Amino acid sequence: MKINFVDLQRQYCDIKEEIDIAIQKIIDSCAFIGNLNNPFVREFEENFAGFIGAEHCVACANGTDAIEILLKAFDIGPGDEVIVPAISWIATSEAVTNVGALPVFVDIESDYYCINPSLIEEKITSKTKAIIPVHLYGHPADMPVISEIAKKHNLILIEDCAQAHGATIGNTTTGTFGDAASFSFFPGKNLGAYGDAGGMVTNNKDIADTIRMISQHGQSGKKHQHLIEGRNSRMDGINAAILNVKLRYLDQWTKKRISISDEYKKLLSEAPVILPKTRESYRHVHHLFVIRTKNRDALMQYLNQEGISCAIQYPTALPYLDAYANRGFKPEDFPVAYSIPNEILSLPVFPELKHVEVEYICEKIISFYNS
Ligand SMILES: *Cc1c(COP(=O)(O)O)cnc(C)c1O
């Protein structure tokens, strides 16, 4: 059996008719660019804000820009420090550097892989301006505690929700705990466009106006009236139309991700691997299903031979990437983030993954350990 890590083709086949109509509509109306008056992009923004339960959504070109634009809107720049987790996609820390501020890494929790709140306060200095927790793999970071820390130290709180569309803690959706949140709609994310796309949500009207202005070349509502120098970061009309269709399916797809993950957990309960955990009253949306094992490389090679594609998210923690070599971090600075990348393995998880495929993957994992 051959099983892809993600299979976007299957999803397209399921909703082809609606997607094709939506795309054709954009071509017919030439609404290609997400400028201030593109109705399809505005419609997506309203729908997505409603889905998250935030007052405002502003679409942009990708999830990395979303973080950068938010940092700019909160006036974070040279001389400032921003706290980020030691494990994430580089976009989180890269955005901080790209506005001229310094990313300050904090180690992660070994059970849930998100930033460890008990290690945040020791990293706060007079220069610290913001915290960017990442809801890694779709599991919400410990927002109740992180929010308290942010409040106590008067820090801006920006949630990186790129992997966590629709994740919740109790009745609160991730993206509404902090001052604002960034989302990615990269094709492989839980809600994915057909190309790069991103968005920001906030309940703060002033911030909503500012991020829209920044992403639209500094225009605040009128064409050719540039109040500031902004940048070009818009969502394409075609992607907005696609996302409008897909958003209607997101909750049902998320439920499939969760049920597939439950099935993995059941079938692998006896296998000598560490399975992902979900904190009490949290909704983990399983962007990824990450197991841990000391024999990771051999297991991955074996599964590949059996036709199963796996991935490693991520092979190196952020502080130990070449990009940060100049910071001179040592293994003991972030012991959890330093060691975990050698043990983690992401198994395929996507809504269209079939029951028999999950069974096959689990059978192969068990037979690896039995041989
Ligand atoms: C994907 C991702 C981003 C960046 O999103 P792009 O749309 O690819 O720019 C940021 N943060 C995290 C945690 C991500 O997984």
DSSP 256-268: HHHHHHHHHHHHT
The residue whose C-alpha atom lies closest to atom 2 belonging to ligand 1 is 162
Report how far ligand 1's centroid is from the alpha carbon of 63 (Å): 5
Report how far ligand 1's centroid is from the alpha carbon of 370 (Å): 37
Nearest-atom index, ligand 1, CA of 62? 7
Spatial neighbors of 56 by CB under 8 A, at least 6 apart, are 45, 49, 201, 202, 203, 204, 205, 207, 208
Averaged over 322-351, what is the pLDDT?
A: 98
pTM score: 0.98
Question: pLDDT (tens digit, 9 = 90+) per residue, 264-294?
Answer: 999 999 999 999 999 999 999 999 999 999 9
Instruction: Give the residue from 289, 17, 344 showing the smallest Cα distance to 138.
Output: 289
d(CA 361, CA 300) in angstroms, rounded, equals 11
Question: pLDDT (tens digit, 9 = 90+) per residue, 215-243?
Answer: 999 998 888 899 999 999 999 999 999 99
Ligand 1 pocket (Cβ < 6 Å) reads 62-64, 88-89, 91-92, 134, 160, 162-163, 184, 186, 196, 198
- What are the E-state strand segments in the chain? 56-60, 81-85, 102-106, 128-131, 156-160, 168-169, 172-173, 180-184, 198-202, 282-283, 289-292, 344-347
The residue whose C-alpha atom lies closest to atom 6 belonging to ligand 1 is 63
d(CA 39, CA 257) in angstroms, rounded, equals 31
Instruction: Give the residue from 46, 26, 103, 39 showing the smallest Cα distance to 71.
Output: 103
Report how far ligand 1's centroid is from the alpha carbon of 91 (Å): 6
- What is the CB neighbour count within 10 angstroms for residue 93? 25
Nearest-atom index, ligand 1, CA of 64? 9
pLDDT bucket at 82, cuts 50 / 70 / 90: very high
User: What integer best gives the mean pLDDT of the chain?
Assistant: 98
pLDDT bucket at 98, cuts 50 / 70 / 90: very high
Question: pLDDT (tens digit, 9 = 90+) per residue, 27-71?
Answer: 999 999 999 999 999 999 999 999 999 999 999 999 999 999 999
pLDDT of residue 223: 83
Question: pLDDT (tens digit, 9 = 90+) per residue, 315-324?
Answer: 999 999 999 9
Position of tokens 């992009």?
41
Nearest-atom index, ligand 1, CA of 135? 13
Which of 82, 94, 163 gets mutated to test ligand 1 (max ligand atoms within 8 A of its CB)?
163
Q: Report whether the peptide linkage leading into residue 314 is cis, meaning its omega lies within 30 degrees of zero.
A: yes
Question: pLDDT (tens digit, 9 = 90+) per residue, 165-215?
Answer: 999 999 999 999 999 999 999 999 999 999 999 999 999 999 999 999 999
Nearest-atom index, ligand 1, CA of 65? 9
Which of 184, 288, 290 gets mutated to test ligand 1 (max ligand atoms within 8 A of its CB)?
184
pLDDT of residue 13: 98
Instruction: Give the residue from 236, 234, 254 showing the smallest Cα distance to 246.
Output: 254
Which of 68, 92, 159 gets mutated to test ligand 1 (max ligand atoms within 8 A of its CB)?
92
**Per-residue pLDDT at 120 exceeds 90:** yes
Which of 71, 186, 236 gets mutated to test ligand 1 (max ligand atoms within 8 A of its CB)?
186
Report how far ligand 1's centroid is from the alpha carbon of 62 (Å): 8
Instruction: Give the residue from 198, 196, 202 showing the smallest Cα distance to 215.
Output: 198
Spatial strand order of the sheet with 81-85 comes to 56-60, 198-202, 180-184, 156-160, 128-131, 81-85, 102-106
Instruction: Give the residue from 330, 348, 240 showing the smallest Cα distance to 288.
Output: 348
Q: What is the DSSP code string of 138-164?
A: GPPP-HHHHHHHHHHTT-EEEEE-TT-
Nearest-atom index, ligand 1, CA of 67? 10
Spatial neighbors of 191 by CB under 8 A, at least 6 apart, are 165, 183, 185, 243, 246, 247, 250
What residue type is 38 in one-letter code?
N
What residue type is 144 in one-letter code?
P
pLDDT of residue 221: 82
% of residues, the chain, pLDDT over 70: 100
pLDDT of residue 220: 87
% of residues, the chain, pLDDT over 90: 98
Report how far ligand 1's centroid is from the alpha carbon of 236 (Å): 17
Instruction: Give the residue from 44, 74, 39 showing the smallest Cα distance to 59.
Output: 44
pLDDT of residue 242: 98
**Per-residue pLDDT at 342 exceeds 90:** yes
Beta strand 102-106 with 81-85 is: parallel
Position of tokens 């954009």?
26
DSSP 179: S
